[in-house]
Amino acid sequence: MSSRQVVKKIFANFENSNDGVIRQGITKSDHELLDPFVSLAEFSVSPPGGFRDHPHRGEIIFSFLLYTYTTQSLLCSIMCLIHQDFNGNKGKVHEGDVLWTTAGRGIIHSEMPKEHTNIGLQLWVNLPSSDKMIDPANVEISNSEMPVAYEEGVEVKVIAGVSMGVQSPFYTRIPMMFLDITLQPRSQTHQTIPESWTAFAYVLDGNEGVFGSSDSYAVQAHTLVVFGTGDEVSVWNTSNYRPLRFLLIAGEPIGESVVQHGPFVMNTQAEIDRTIWDYRNGQNGFEMAKHWRSD
């Protein structure tokens, strides 16, 4: 096995907005390096903030709710994000759940906290040109549905792909893996990844994670770690006391040009211009744009 070495580290800085606090880990400048991944953002939202009615076209969106915080003893049914879209879908994303949205030709949706502070992560994955205009779809994946792999000192929630022989049952249109990994103090893991795939990690919690080789510098939380070529990713938790939690994400590159304009991800500027026209004029997938409003 050839171990992938770290080629870039990106610290996700705070970006305040009216909707909440965002840490942006992948931006437009990283598209070529991280194909097929378009955006990765860690968010913290509380009422009245949140992600109000907004459109998408041309990508897959994974919304992963990491934590919910409250100072009161309340039923978990109100500690969640409420999602709705113009196709009539409506549901709740609780701590540990994933909302998997294929935007395709167009969708308008909202993701709003019901109460208290919700911390999560959103990953956008590009669609190939042949799939840009497919019908939109939603899949809700509850925490209890996700298979978990174990070995000494290592726990892996397999959201997509395979780890330690445990396969996710969920189909991704883009071949990829999405692993939520926790390493106990002084433990390590070595994850096989197809050599041709793009791979990166995002550190959620813990400041003593070492990636790529055991003599590398430790990486702090909220850092995105981009790996070079190879067929294995190695990670060590050098802390004596604190677990390390990170996401390991990898996917097969598409190899097509990417032009992003806000929530629209297409291949050319002309396609972006047409998408904006479609959205403003309520056509070609955005027929409900002028009439639909979330509750």
Cα(93)–Cα(43) distance, rounded to whole angstroms? Answer: 14
CB 97 within 8 A of CB 150: no
Token code pair at residue 147: 């298979």
Torsional sign, CA 223, 229, 233, 234? negative
114 Cβ neighbours under 8 A, 6+ residues apart: 47, 78, 79, 80, 81, 82, 92
Binding site for Fe cation: residue ranges? Answer: 54, 56, 109, 111
Token code pair at residue 290: 């002028």
- Of 148, 161, 243, which Cα lies nearest the Cα of 194? 161
Binding site: residue ranges? Answer: 54, 56, 109, 111
262 Cβ neighbours under 8 A, 6+ residues apart: none
User: What SS3 state is found at 200?
Assistant: strand
